[in-house]
Structure 1
Amino acid sequence: MNAKPSTTATTLPGPAPSLPRPIRVAASLILLRDGADGMEVLLLRRAEKADDQNSGASVFPGGVVDAHDRSLHLMCKGLDDAAASARLGLPDGGLDYYAAAVRECFEEAGVLFASDADDRLVELDGLPPGRLESMRHAAEQGTDALLAMCEAQGWRLAMDRLAYFSHWLTPPGMPRRFDTRFFIAQMPPAQAVKPDGRETVAHMWLKPAEAAHARSGLKLMNVTRRTLEQLAGFGSAAACIAHARALTRIVLNMPRVADGPAGRRAVNIDEAAYEEIGHLDPDGKGHAHYALEPGLVTRLSARVVRVAGAADSHHGYFVGGEGGHWALIDPPPHSLAQDAAPGQVKWLLWTGAGTQPSAASLDALRSAWPDAAVLRPAPGEVLHLGGATLHVRQHGPADQAACQFLLAEERMLFTSAAAAPAAHATGEAEWIAPASGFILRTPR
């Protein structure tokens, strides 16, 4: 039975581009404690709100960095702006993020990282309930009120208790985008979590692995789930905080949104599809794919169209340009490729012994494209396809008849190699187009 290509991924004309969505800077504080069965993390459940994509989600305390958070520098101890900025890789203003994390944690969870005159964390549980609530209510009115409260009590915000942990940026294309710095700290003694009842309506302490598991039933944002999975590798709060303090470089995590068998979802930087999605869909419109189903047709550029192979076959790449004549590199079964051809196929090419067709497959290809010539160029040859130039490169021992094709205009290297080939070392290639899997950038 001849199977038709299952899906076609193309970039269709859309509405005129809108202005880029503003990115708001934010800070979040991950609270840890050691429970009887291991380390636990605090999650707050957000209130149900209309038009909020994260309504009802379980989150860490946090929020947007306020322009007035800089005034909290006056009440910070253990860290100044220069040191905080250096830690976050910023020219200045790093302490704003620490201050916002502490402020938001107090507003949303009722937990305050502050030290008294003897450098001991304040014990809020010892305060009369009415006084604590009035202090919290006053602090929620704004940064100036929090400053006045600390000054009246003789407290200073204990920034030295926070450790910088991770940095996340919301994917392009999302309705709201946040550039968020995540900090971790151990839950202060003699304090209790009390959700504010407006932004947050419930709280829970869970082991990170349990919270991240589907059976928890929690609604989790991608960043929360990924952070919980990372936290699950630590046996104690002290070990996790020590790890964070020892980090010398914290990489920005910016997921990308893509489509696939399970619907549209965020794709993280450690997933195989990540680089290709960024190449095809830098604006986050969601038309790129995170799974290569057999027969999926993807226009990688104006000169390159890929047909994904089945589980036991390789991808095929149509390469061409002006004049409508195309070469087909590593043709997949003709039942997958025939209907996907963007133009007249004039040349059939193979990268190596592992992609060579059987006699029956070759006959089928010739029946599909009777005018196509089978080429077996030697390394060093240059093929001119009309607006597309392929340079033939040797790959592996000469007696194995393996080669690679470098599309000069796209700086894309087509190869049967399972790993990134050595031919990119000259700097000619920017992208690797493998016989299976997604295209990927060459190592820098």
Structure 2
Amino acid sequence: MYDSLNHLAADPVGRAPRSSATLVLVRESPAGPEVLLLRRAERGDHNSGAWVFPGGLVDEGDQASAGCCTGVSADEADARLGVERGGLAYYVAAVRECFEECGVLLARSADGTPVSAAQVAVLDAARGPLHRGETTLPALCAEHGLSLALDELAYYAHWRTPVGIPKRFDTRFFAALAPAGQRALHDAAETVEHRWLRPAEVLADPAGYKMLTPTLGTLKLIAAHPSAAAFLAWARQPREVPLTQPRLGSGSQGKRPVLPEEPAWAELGRLDPEGRGHASYDIQTDVAVRLSPHVIRVTAGNGSVMTGPGTNTYLVGGGPNNEWAVIDPGPALPAHVAAVLAAAPGRITQILVTHTHTDHSPACVALKQATQAPVLGRVAAHPMWQDDSFAPDRVLQGGERLAVDEGVTLQVFHTPGHASNHLCFLLEEEKTLFTGDHVMQLSTVVINPPDGDMRAYIASLRTLATTLELDWLAPGHGFLMPRPRQAMEAIVAHRLKREAKVVDALRRLGPATVDTLLTSVYDDVPPRLHPVALRSLNAHLFKLRDDAAAVERDALWALAGLSAPAEAPAAR
């Protein structure tokens, strides 16, 4: 390995990832793009028998190859890969490994033309000596008058092995169109088989091909494009290539890598920084999860299309007096109430409620009976969809600071929108906001008038995003969420984008009924969910009405200035 490239920080248990590069060869076919995959030899490790792209470690010879490269300068490579130095060596390693493992060489002759199949055939005998370090790529290029065509490579992905795995790699992924006339041949040493395959074909048969996570990720990327040319055009677009580093977790599928786009990824990094894989990527019903010294989560077994994996109940406390507050007792399920009581390490002294929808507050009655703790919250302005058993001992207005224990303080924010009585609670010492249903993971919340108010909801989100310094969101459904401001800004952007669809539909279809607008505005939502979406559509329309952008008469909606007729138009 080229030591000067090993500028990566070691993980918490001291293993630094090794620099490596991978080259994905693609070609066109009548049925769509195809990729070259090689099957690894059986070596007794987790890579044995896996189908992979050509690739391997960056070595010292790759850095020394700068003199035989064309198309990409050292400075350009560094800038593209976002490194201070050594970027060119990744490009060279990708070309070298591809030649060593499958006999395909991205190079040009002295006159600038692509290397011919005949020239590559002559070079084929050097694949073994090159792999064994008996010769170098610069030496071969000098002997045969070649230069490496690095501009044929498109850098598109950056993967790093999860912390906790003994052999770790920091891999840059490149893609290139397979050169015409050259024939791929596996080396019969490290690889024992090769195939040109369509990504969609492989993804449709997951049991038929053993693959590592980055390989599957690349196949999904390519499968989303209609042709190899389209994929390469996307890969060449100027953009920041993010690092993708999975984290190990345990759950219903055993111990496995969890990708950054999966809900549990951020929480796994917080609970298991050493990558031992003991934290769960599944939400487990009525199991106490210690999120920090001051926070415990217990999720009710009421999972559904409306509640996701279930409603989260949080215990917050654990100061010198070992006193705790409960946020959102959840539904009145005896097993859940018992699990919350069992999870409390000390005395429960307060019961707090974000809002009184029936999945969040009904267990207040049983929890209060068991603990004698007072209930704090607000009563909704409208009774529809509310918990009629809710009776707060103290009504919160917003702005209060609740001392749960010494060094454990919750600040109260009134955040109407999803519900008129919605509250969020900020654990000041950890910069964690308990959001109830104000922010949900993987889904936007339903805004159901008259108690729900889209205008108030967006205003509440903007206030929190711009005024609070936060590290984490603890939602009423799902795992801990990082980057709170970005999460809230994304929700606002989504709501405004949906509002723009409402305006467009009114412009095209209005005056129209809400049922007519629904199928146009929520054409990206399954029809089975349209009854729920109808609630949020009404909320958008009411916001537009309050903003003087839309009007409603005789159950017909139109843009302001385009009045609805006195009678509904005859059916056409």
The normalised TM-score by structure 2 is 0.70
**Separation (CA, whole Å) in 1 of partners of 2:62 and 2:345:** 56
1:68 maps to 61
Output one character per residue of 1:215-264: Cα deviation in whole Å (capped at 9) or x when no partner. Answer: 56110001111111111011222111111111321111111111111111
* Per-residue deviation, 1:401: 2.2
- Equivalent AA in structure 2 for residue 217 of structure 1: G
2:408 is the counterpart of 1:388: yes
* Per-residue deviation, 1:101: 0.4
- Equivalent AA in structure 2 for residue 342 of structure 1: P
Higher strand share: 1
* Per-residue deviation, 1:353: 2.4
Any idea what SS the aligned residue of 1:28 has?
strand
- Equivalent AA in structure 1 for residue 22 of structure 2: S
1:42 maps to 36
Query: Given the superposition, is the C-alpha separation of residues 363 and 135 from structure 1 closer, same or farther in structure 2, using an over 3 Å criterion?
Result: closer
**Separation (CA, whole Å) in 2 of partners of 1:49 and 1:283:** 27
1:31 maps to 25
**Separation (CA, whole Å) in 1 of partners of 2:270 and 2:149:** 43
Matches within 5 A, 1:6-21: 19-21=13-15
Query: Given the superposition, is the C-alpha separation of residues 412 and 119 from structure 1 closer, same or farther in structure 2, using an over 3 Å criterion?
Result: same
2:370 maps to 368
- Equivalent AA in structure 2 for residue 22 of structure 1: A
1:342 maps to 345
Gaps of 5+ in 2: 1-10, 378-395, 441-460, 487-572
2:153 is the counterpart of 1:153: no
Gaps of 5+ in 1: 1-16
- Equivalent AA in structure 2 for residue 140 of structure 1: H
Q: Quick check: 1:72–1:143 contact (8 Å CA) kept in 2?
A: no
Output one character per residue of 1:175-205: Cα deviation in whole Å (capped at 9) or x when no partner. Answer: 1111100000011112111111111111011
**Separation (CA, whole Å) in 2 of partners of 1:38 and 1:395:** 50
Q: Quick check: 2:68–2:141 contact (8 Å CA) kept in 1?
A: yes
Query: Given the superposition, is the C-alpha separation of residues 18 and 163 from structure 1 closer, same or farther in structure 2, using an over 3 Å criterion?
Result: closer
Query: Aligned match of 2:326 in 310, 325, 328?
Result: 328
2:160 is the counterpart of 1:166: no
Q: Quick check: 1:424–1:430 contact (8 Å CA) kept in 2?
A: no
Q: Quick check: 1:309–1:436 contact (8 Å CA) kept in 2?
A: no
* Per-residue deviation, 1:397: 6.1
* Per-residue deviation, 1:138: 3.4
**Separation (CA, whole Å) in 2 of partners of 1:399 and 1:119:** 68
2:313 is the counterpart of 1:316: yes
Q: Quick check: 1:260–1:289 contact (8 Å CA) kept in 2?
A: yes
2:430 is the counterpart of 1:410: yes
Any idea what SS the aligned residue of 1:92 has?
coil
Identity %: 42
**Is 133-142 or 293-302 further displaced after alignment?**
133-142
**Is 153-162 or 410-419 further displaced after alignment?**
410-419
2:112 maps to 119
Greater radius of gyration (CA) = 2
Task: Note the aligned Cα RMSD (angstroms).
Answer: 2.1
* Per-residue deviation, 1:123: 2.0
2:466 is the counterpart of 1:425: yes
- Equivalent AA in structure 2 for residue 372 of structure 1: A
Matches within 5 A, 1:21-420: 21-50=15-44, 52-124=45-117, 126=118, 131-142=122-133, 144-215=135-206, 217-310=208-301, 311=303, 314-322=311-319, 323-332=321-330, 333=333, 334-354=337-357, 357-358=361-362, 361-369=363-371, 371-376=372-377, 377-386=396-405, 387-396=407-416, 400-419=420-439
**Separation (CA, whole Å) in 1 of partners of 2:365 and 2:197:** 62
* Per-residue deviation, 1:344: 1.4
Any idea what SS the aligned residue of 1:353 has?
coil
**Separation (CA, whole Å) in 1 of partners of 2:286 and 2:57:** 44
* Per-residue deviation, 1:398: 12
* Per-residue deviation, 1:70: 1.0
* Per-residue deviation, 1:127: 5.2
* Per-residue deviation, 1:372: 1.5
Query: Given the superposition, is the C-alpha separation of residues 400 and 105 from structure 1 closer, same or farther in structure 2, using an over 3 Å criterion?
Result: same
1:443 maps to 485
Query: Given the superposition, is the C-alpha separation of residues 315 and 75 from structure 1 closer, same or farther in structure 2, using an over 3 Å criterion?
Result: same
Q: Quick check: 2:156–2:173 contact (8 Å CA) kept in 1?
A: yes
- Equivalent AA in structure 2 for residue 277 of structure 1: L
Any idea what SS the aligned residue of 1:173 has?
coil
**Separation (CA, whole Å) in 1 of partners of 2:134 and 2:154:** 22
The normalised TM-score by structure 1 is 0.90
**Separation (CA, whole Å) in 2 of partners of 1:286 and 1:215:** 23
- Equivalent AA in structure 2 for residue 326 of structure 1: W
